[in-house]
Amino acid sequence: MTSGLPGRLLDDIGPAIVTGKYPPGAVLRTEELERAFQVSRTVVREALRVLEAMRLVSSRRRVGITVLPRVDWNLYDPRVIRWRLDGSDRADQLRSLTELRSATEPVAAALAAARATPEQAGRLTELAVQLRSTTHDLDAFLVHDIAFHRLLLAASGNDMFCQLGDVVDAVLTGRTQHHLMPPRPKTEAVRLHVEVAEAVAAGDSARAEGAMRAIVTEVMEDLRK
């Protein structure tokens, strides 16, 4: 995937840390990594600097590179999210992210109702309609579902919400891949998406928030099983 050497190193070490192969407190040394991966010091250090930026490790003189405990990690870094989802605590991670979704999306919907441009509102309605017409094809459904939620977050006019689009993408993709979805999307869920779109178009914050809250509580209940 990543082209450069530091990137490749990162893709080796990062997941190893996140999955606990290098547990917190473990110490790496640049020289070891140089030999282990047959790369020069420059490459090792550049990779390390990135891991440090993600707060996965901390580098100290005379000690080495120490793996930090999980509480320090930048859990919102897209790569960390990906690595955790690919790793062993996938289920746990999916739960965390779903809870995050369930908190943010209703509020984002309310804001979108107040701030969405007519174009955004129109496109949102289109996507909701497409959702309804692709309940038979899970893959196509997923694409539209992701587009719908991404657009909604963008329409909220809040940078921070907008960025969570990747999280939603990961969650939706993840739960379809691991068959945590019902084989056919529930008609009630689809109806609620349409309602969200309508409410946003009508500028009705309360209704948009309510409908979205209904969607995410349903998702949360599905997950509990």
Q: Point out which residues bind DNA (CB under 7 A).
A: 4-6, 28-31, 39-43, 45-46, 48, 59-65
* Cα-Cα end-to-end distance for the chain: 35
User: What is the token pair recorded at 93?
Assistant: 């991670």
Q: What is the number of alpha carbons within 13 Å of residue 115 lying toward its C-beta?
A: 14
Q: What is each CA distance from 213 to 36, 106, 127, 198, 216, in whole angstroms? A: 50, 5, 19, 15, 5
The item of DNA, its own copies, none sharing an interface with residue 152, based on CB under 5 to 8 Å by kind, is none
Q: How far apart are CA 199 and CA 211, in angstroms?
A: 9
Give the nearest distance from C-beta 9 to DNA in angstroms: 9
- Residues sharing a CB contact under 8 Å with residue 67, sequence separation 6 or more, in sequence order: 17, 22, 23, 24, 25, 26, 27, 28, 56, 57
DSSP 24: T
If binding is defined by CB under 8 A, does position 217 make contact with its own copies? no
In Å, how far are 6, 9, 186 from 49, measured between CA atoms? 10, 12, 46
Residue 103's binding partner, choosing from its own copies, DNA, none, with beta-carbon cut-off 5 to 8 A by kind?
its own copies
For residue 108, state whether it binds its own copies (rule: CB under 8 A): yes
46 vs 166 by CB, closer to DNA: 46
**77 forms part of the interface with its own copies (CB under 8 A):** yes
140 binds, among its own copies, DNA, none (CB under 5 to 8 A by kind): none
Shortest distance, CB of residue 74 to its own copies, whole angstroms?
6
How far apart are CB 126 and DNA at their closest, in Å?
34
CB of residue 74 vs DNA: minimum separation in angstroms? 18
Smallest distance, its own copies to C-beta of residue 163, A: 5
Token code pair at residue 116: 């969405």
Cβ nearer to DNA, comparing 43 with 111: 43
162 makes contact with its own copies (CB under 8 A): yes
Please tell me the distance from the alpha carbon of residue 225 to that of residue 223, in angstroms, as a whole number.
Answer: 5
Name the site residues for its own copies (rule: CB under 8 A).
Answer: 6, 42, 45-46, 49-50, 52-54, 70-71, 74-78, 96-97, 99-100, 102-104, 106-108, 111, 158-163
